[in-house]
């Protein structure tokens, strides 16, 4: 490593992450740039091994979690910033060095929000959920394609994956319908692809259920109405311990389940939910809440009177989202308090 790229006595370093090239800017205590350097992956780690323990910032992107864990192991303090919060600090034109300087400036702001540094186990679990979600989306595409092909020959199949999987073998075996031999062969091949995908999804579901059964936190999360093995493990992968949130509402806001606000001149205007954050996790929580609104035994659960009151004055969809936000708040309590579980009845009146 050249002398020019020896670490200087900076108060904070900002790193603009690339696939093979990394740009680093160091700022002093007055936030003035005192070092600008470019490294490859190997020399970057050597640079920070020689540097004294310091604050290091980077944008949230693929590779940021790996680099953050490496730097933490070297004794540095690491903060990961969402890209949208760095953009206001980019001055004038944009290039990699300017981005690194903006990152260094952003991480020093006292009100800045940061991304939690995840463990390898969390990343593995999140990858499992993302692959499963991709498979389910692909299965939906295959079903929609086969249903459209059948409609071209006057064969209508009920909507819903379950009904389609039950009916398509009968359609393929029926020699009296109008399917041509070529279309029957195509549908048979696509159906085989779908069934192979179904087996992979089932195996992945079993793996996720086994992980949930081994985790004490996941088991406690599953005491909450609307939270099952999928939602509990997805929460563990994305939110971890939950201690990065100061209060329960912050977790609900992180999931995009609180109203957007556009207020000015002392006039408060609340809009629909913000839909920020993890779409996959928000979808799971909302689907769980929708199931509760329909199937929850309200006479035996503390949420029953509250749901009845909501339904008397607002649409069912609003009730569902309100319940999803409440579930998120309960989840925060369980994540942050060891041994906590959901009590279906108020303890004083149980």
Torsion of CA 178, 175, 187, 142, to 10 degrees: 80
Contacts of residue 160, Cβ cutoff 8 Å, sequence gap at least 6? none
Compute the average pLDDT of residues 22-51.
92
Lowest mean pLDDT segment, chosen from 65-79, 188-202, 261-275: 261-275
pLDDT at site 300: 86
User: Strand 21-27 relative to strand 33-40: parallel, antiparallel, unpaired?
Assistant: antiparallel
Residues 6+ apart with CB under 8 A from 279: none
Average pLDDT over residues 59-74: 94
pLDDT, position 102: 94
Instruction: Give the span between the Cα atoms of 218 and 235, in whole angstroms.
Output: 9
5 secondary structure, DSSP code = G
Closest CA to 32 of 9, 56, 51, 7: 9
d(Cα 170, Cα 313) in Å, to the nearest integer? Answer: 46
**pLDDT score of 347:** 52
Domain 9-106, CATH among 3.40.50.360, 1.10.530.10, 3.30.420.140, 3.30.360.10: 3.30.420.140
The angle formed by the CA atoms of residues 266, 269 and 272, to the nearest 5 degrees, is 160
| pLDDT value for 179 | 93
What percentage of the chain carries pLDDT values higher than 90?
Answer: 77
User: What confidence score (pLDDT) does residue 206 get?
Assistant: 96
Nearest alpha carbon to residue 234 among 335, 89, 161? 335
Of 82, 118, 62, which Cα lies nearest the Cα of 237?
118
Measured distance CA(279)–CA(256) in Å, rounded: 8
Q: Which residues contact 54 (CB under 8 A, 6 or more apart)?
A: 10, 11, 12, 13, 76, 77
Q: Give the pLDDT band of residue 207 (cuts 50, 70, 90).
A: very high
Cα–Cα distances (Å) from 236 to 52, 119, 287, in that order, read: 33, 11, 18
User: What pLDDT is stored for residue 91 in this prediction?
Assistant: 85
**Global pTM?**
0.86
Question: How far are the Cα atoms of 26, 27, 44, 56 from residue 51, in angstroms, in the given order?
Answer: 11, 14, 11, 11
């Amino acid at each position: 490593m050249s002398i020019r790229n020896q670490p200087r006595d900076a108060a904070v370093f900002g790193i603009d992450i690339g696939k093979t090239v990394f740009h680093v800017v160091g700022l002093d205590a007055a936030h003035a740039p005192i070092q600008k350097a470019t490294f490859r992956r190997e020399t970057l780690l050597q640079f920070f091994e020689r540097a004294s323990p310091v604050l290091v910032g980077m944008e949230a992107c693929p590779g940021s979690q790996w680099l953050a864990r490496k730097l933490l192991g070297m004794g540095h303090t690491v903060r990961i910033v969402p890209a949208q919060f760095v953009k206001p600090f980019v001055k004038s034109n944009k290039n990699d060095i300017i981005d690194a300087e903006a990152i260094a400036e952003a991480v020093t702001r006292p009100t800045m929000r940061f991304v939690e540094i995840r463990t390898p186990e969390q990343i593995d679990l999140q990858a499992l959920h993302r692959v499963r979600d991709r498979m389910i989306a692909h299965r939906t595409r295959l079903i929609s394609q086969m249903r459209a092909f059948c409609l071209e020959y006057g064969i209508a199949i009920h909507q819903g994956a379950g009904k389609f999987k039950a009916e398509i073998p009968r359609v393929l075996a029926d020699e009296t319908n109008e399917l041509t031999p070529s279309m029957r062969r195509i549908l048979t091949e696509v159906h085989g692809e779908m069934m192979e995908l179904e087996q992979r999804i089932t195996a992945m579901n079993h793996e996720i259920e086994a992980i949930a059964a081994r985790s004490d936190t996941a088991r406690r999360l599953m005491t909450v109405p609307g939270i099952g093995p999928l939602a509990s493990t997805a929460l563990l992968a994305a939110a971890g311990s939950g201690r990065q949130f100061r209060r329960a509402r912050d977790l609900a806001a992180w999931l995009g389940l609180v109203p957007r606000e556009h207020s000015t001149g002392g006039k408060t205007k609340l809009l629909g939910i913000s839909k920020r954050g993890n779409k996959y996790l928000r979808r799971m929580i909302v689907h769980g809440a929708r199931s509760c609104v329909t199937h929850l035994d309200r006479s035996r659960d503390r949420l029953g009177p509250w749901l009845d009151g909501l339904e008397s004055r607002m649409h069912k969809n609003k009730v569902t989202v309100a319940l999803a936000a409440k579930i998120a708040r309960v989840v925060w309590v369980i994540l942050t308090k060891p041994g906590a579980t959901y009590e279906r009845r108020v303890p004083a009146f149980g």
